[in-house]
Each structure stands twice: as C-alpha cells, then as structure tokens.
C-alpha cells in the first residue's frame, strides 16, 4: 500500500513501487521510476527520466542538534532533482539541495541542505556531503569520502575513496571558530588520491594531483604533484594528463 497525497499528479509513465510515501506538493516528471519504501517529502521536484531506488528519502527536512553549529533559515526551499538522475538505495537527500541533470547519488549516500550539485556528477556509495557545499559539473566523488560543510569542488574534480575534508581548526572550543569555519576549495581538474586528508581552508589548485595517503596542510600550486605526510611538491603533472 502506498500513500500519495491528493495534490500530487502522476503522469501515466511514472512507475511507483510498494509502501512508498509521496507528500503534499511533490512534482514528478515523466518516465520516473520510484522503488519500494521510498519517502518523498513535501514540495520536492523530480525531473523527467529519473530513477529512485528502494528506501531512498528525498527532501528530508533538516533538524540539527541544539549544540550544532548549523543555523537554518526559516524557509528552506524544496529539494530539486534534475532530469535523468539516478538515486541509489537508502540514499538521503535533504530539503534545500539542488541536484543537476544526469547525476548519480549512489546507495547509502547523504546530501545535506543548502548543497548545489552540478550536471553529470557521481556521488559514490556511502559518500557524505555536508551543508553549504557546491560541486561543479562532471565531478566524481568515490565511495565513503567526506565532504565537509563550506567546501567548494569545481568542474572535473576527481575525489578517490575515503578522502576526508575538514573545516574547523578550533575543534569546537572557542567562539572565534564560528567566523573562521571553512572547508576545502578544490579547483577545476584537480585529482585527490585515496585516503587523503585536507585541513581546513586549504585550496587544491587547478589540475593538482594529490597522491594517495597525503596530508595536505598548505595550498598547492597548479599542475603539480604533491605527496607525503605532510604533502610536499614532487613534480609537475605530465602534460598528457592535463584536461
């Protein structure tokens, strides 16, 4: 048995599985496929041709803890998902996010409020994208990576599995930290290897290659390879590998 609010109009091309909830004011395009036990919260917009796997939760209203640094506005806009997207099983995408066309948000991924994701993006299995993040077109974020709040990833960025970004040098002990919270800025075409840790406020320059396992403590220079703990210049990126 499904619950579909009377305000929702489904085109005859839409397929809906079992035990799904679609709340008031949801707008669903043509040729959309919705799996079993999916929850689509109020006002969510889903573009034509999108596929939503079992157990996904879309448009979830954010509710931070009382001690959280996140401050919400009174009116967070509805979740908008573009055309021809794929939303994986048990993925959770919050109200206030915008997902571009032809984007994959894989199984068990989490995308928080006030996030903008471009077109042809891959968000891998178990990836966590926190609030106030911007991700450009054709960027790939591999499994189990953590993109902290207030980060920016430009177009054609590659993030390997288990990368960790950070945004707070004060570890929650001073009021000063609220004015200085800043995530990573990863410029166009940069590539970040598996298990890399990027400290708060660091800029990974255009076409930088960060080797696996590095700890990035300083801004990088464009088209350089950096590696080590902490990361240091190794060589220039091979011209054949540039965009």
pLDDT at residue 75 in the model: 85
137-242 shares the fold of 1-61+77-129:
yes
Residues in the chain: 243
Average pLDDT in the 145-164 region?
98
For 122-129, which contacts have Cβ atoms below 8 Å and span 24 or more sequence positions?
124/161, 125/88
For 241, the 3-state DSSP assignment is: helix
Residue 238: pLDDT band with limits 50, 70, 90: very high
Question: Would you say 177 and 169 are in contact if contact means Cβ atoms under 8 Å apart?
Answer: yes
Q: Sign of dihedral through CA atoms 55, 58, 61, 67? A: positive
**Tokens read off for 185:** 């800025």
| Average pLDDT of span 60-65 | 88
Residue 132 in this model has a pLDDT that exceeds 80: yes
pTM: predicted TM-score of the whole model, two decimal places = 0.95
Residue 175 has a pLDDT of 77
Q: What is the pLDDT of residues 172-200, one digit of tens each?
A: 777 777 788 999 999 999 999 999 999 99
CATH number belonging to domain 137-242:
2.160.10.10
211: pLDDT strictly greater than 80 = yes
Q: How far is CA 189 from CA 96, 109, 125, 128, 153, in A?
A: 27, 23, 22, 21, 10
Which residue in 100, 79, 101, 90 sits closest to 25, CA to CA? Answer: 79
Cα–Cα distances (Å) from 243 to 157, 189, 218, 237, 239, in that order, read: 11, 7, 24, 11, 9
**Domain assignments of the chain as residue spans, ordered by start:** 1-61+77-129, 137-242
Instruction: Give percent of the chain above pLDDT 90.
Output: 89
232-236 and 224-227 beta bridge pairing = antiparallel
| 66-114 pLDDT tens trace | 777 666 766 899 999 999 999 999 999 999 999 999 999 999 999 999 9
pLDDT at 122: 98
Q: Average pLDDT over the chain, rounded to whole?
A: 95
pLDDT at 60: 97
Domain 1-61+77-129 sits in CATH at: 2.160.10.10
Q: Residue 51: what pLDDT? A: 98
User: Residues 21-43: pLDDT tens digits?
Assistant: 999 999 999 999 999 999 999 99
From the list 80, 92, 12, 95, the residue with the least C-alpha distance to 45 is 80
Query: What secondary structure does DSSP assign to 195-217, as a single string?
Result: T-EE-TT-EE-TT-EEPTT-EE-
pLDDT at residue 93, as a whole number: 98
pLDDT of 155 > 90? The answer is yes
Residue range 199-216: average pLDDT?
98
Q: What is the pLDDT of residue 173?
A: 78
């Amino acid at each position: 048995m499904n619950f579909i609010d009377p305000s929702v109009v489904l085109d005859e091309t839409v397929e809906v599985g079992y035990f799904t909830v679609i709340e008031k004011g949801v707008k669903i395009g043509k040729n959309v496929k919705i799996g079993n036990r999916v929850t689509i919260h109020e006002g969510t917009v889903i573009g034509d041709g999108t596929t939503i796997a079992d157990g996904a939760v879309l448009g979830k209203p954010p509710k931070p803890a009382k001690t959280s640094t996140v401050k919400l506005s009174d009116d967070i806009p509805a979740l908008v998902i573009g055309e021809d997207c794929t939303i994986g099983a048990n993925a959770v995408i919050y109200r206030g996010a915008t997902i571009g066309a032809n984007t994959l948000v894989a199984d068990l991924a989490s995308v928080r409020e006030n996030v903008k994701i471009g077109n042809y993006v891959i968000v891998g299995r178990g990836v966590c994208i926190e609030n106030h993040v911007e991700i450009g077109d054709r960027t790939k974020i591999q499994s189990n990576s953590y993109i902290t709040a207030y980060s920016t990833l430009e177009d054609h960025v590659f993030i390997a599995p288990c990368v960790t970004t950070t945004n707070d040098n004060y570890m929650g002990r001073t009021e000063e930290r609220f004015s200085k919270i800043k995530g990573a800025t990863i410029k166009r075409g940069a590539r970040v290897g598996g298990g890399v840790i990027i400290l708060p406020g660091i800029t990974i320059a255009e076409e930088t290659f960060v080797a696996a396992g590095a700890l990035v403590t300083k801004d990088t220079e464009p088209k350089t390879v950096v590696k080590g703990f902490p990361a240091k210049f190794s060589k220039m990126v091979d011209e054949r590998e540039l965009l």
